């Protein structure tokens, strides 16, 4: 695929004769819209090269879809996953994030009018464990309030409240990829008591320990390190172990 030309499309300047609008037929439009509604676009957040064929094969195996999952290359490091059922698509979105050999996979649902040059991957949903809350604040509404402070809340794990563990709240949040992950924060109870809380992120890979963003290694980070800095600002403590209610992964590299 000529990915360089796809990139250049954004900067093409048309001459006067080329600017005339061409009307196109839409007899098959409904079928294509339906097909696109069962599609996800994916991109790996990485600055390194890797085996794309192996990644596609492993994802097919992990998702247990085999050849039912049609994968089409539509751009530079941009692929379209075509599912046969909406339940398959929803399962993949609900059980992410996914990764391959330490490369985080970001997914985006198809939208009408989307092109290879207009697809943007600015958000990624993640399960976040909120630690340090008093027992009387281990509540669904508290999880939503905290999650809304980080991004868009997609879900709160209610099973936690009826299980044999009551150490943390699990909140699924759509996080902006252009910001550093939050290590923790301070919440105030209805009585005004302030409590320091900490966050752990499930299936977290590809985190830069210098800037706290996902998608590049520390040696590729543009944030310079302070000479007085004895240790890195971010680290392994932000990674949470797989929760038993969470979707199964591949071997650790392709979680």
Q: What digits encode the pLDDT tens for the residues 113-136?
A: 787 778 889 999 999 999 999 988
Cα dihedral across residues 91, 103, 2, 4: positive or negative: positive
Q: Is the peptide bond before 183 cis (omega within 30 degrees of 0)?
A: no
Query: Scanning the structure block, which residue is given the tokens 């696109």?
Result: 36
Contact at 8 Å (CB) between 196 and 211? no
Residue, of 14 and 200, whose pLDDT is higher: 200
Fold of 3-109: Alpha-Beta Plaits (3.30.70)
Lowest mean pLDDT of 89-93, 197-201, 229-233, name the range. 229-233
First to last CA, the chain: 28
C-alpha span between 33 and 218 (Å, rounded): 41
Q: Looking at residues 31-56, what average pLDDT do you find?
A: 83
3-state secondary structure of 234: coil
pTM for this model (two decimals): 0.78
Share of the chain above pLDDT 70, in %: 79
The DSSP secondary-structure symbol of 103 reads: E
Where in the chain do CATH 3.30.70.330 domains reside?
3-109
Q: Looking at residues 81-100, what average pLDDT do you find?
A: 91
Cα dihedral across residues 255, 235, 169, 243: positive or negative: positive
For residues 73-89, b (16+ Cβ closer than 10 Å) or e, as one string? ebbeebbbbbbeeeebb
What pLDDT is recorded for position 133?
92
């Amino acid at each position: 695929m000529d990915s360089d030309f796809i990139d250049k499309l954004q900067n093409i300047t048309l001459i006067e004769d080329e600017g005339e609008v061409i009307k196109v037929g839409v007899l098959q439009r409904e079928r294509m819209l339906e097909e696109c509604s069962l599609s996800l676009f994916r991109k790996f957040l990485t600055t390194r090269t890797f085996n794309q064929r192996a990644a596609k094969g492993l994802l097919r195996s992990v998702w247990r879809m085999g050849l039912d999952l049609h994968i089409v290359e539509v751009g530079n490091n941009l692929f379209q996953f075509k599912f046969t059922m909406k339940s398959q698509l929803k399962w993949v979105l609900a059980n992410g994030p996914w990764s391959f050999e330490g490369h985080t996979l970001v997914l985006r649902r198809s939208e009408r009018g989307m092109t290879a040059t207009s697809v943007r991957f600015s958000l990624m949903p993640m399960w976040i464990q909120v630690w340090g809350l008093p027992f009387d604040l281990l509540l669904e509404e508290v999880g939503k309030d905290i999650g809304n402070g980080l991004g868009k809340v997609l879900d709160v794990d209610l099973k936690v409240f009826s299980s044999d563990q009551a150490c943390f709240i699990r909140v699924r949040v759509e996080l902006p990829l252009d910001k550093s992950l939050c290590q923790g924060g301070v919440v105030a109870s209805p009585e005004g008591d302030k409590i320091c809380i900490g966050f752990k992120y499930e299936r977290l890979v590809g985190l830069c320990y210098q800037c706290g963003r996902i998608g590049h290694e520390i040696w590729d980070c543009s944030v310079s390190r302070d000479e007085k800095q004895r240790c890195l600002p971010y680290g392994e403590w932000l990674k949470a172990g797989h929760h038993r209610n969470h979707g199964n992964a591949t071997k650790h590299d392709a979680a």
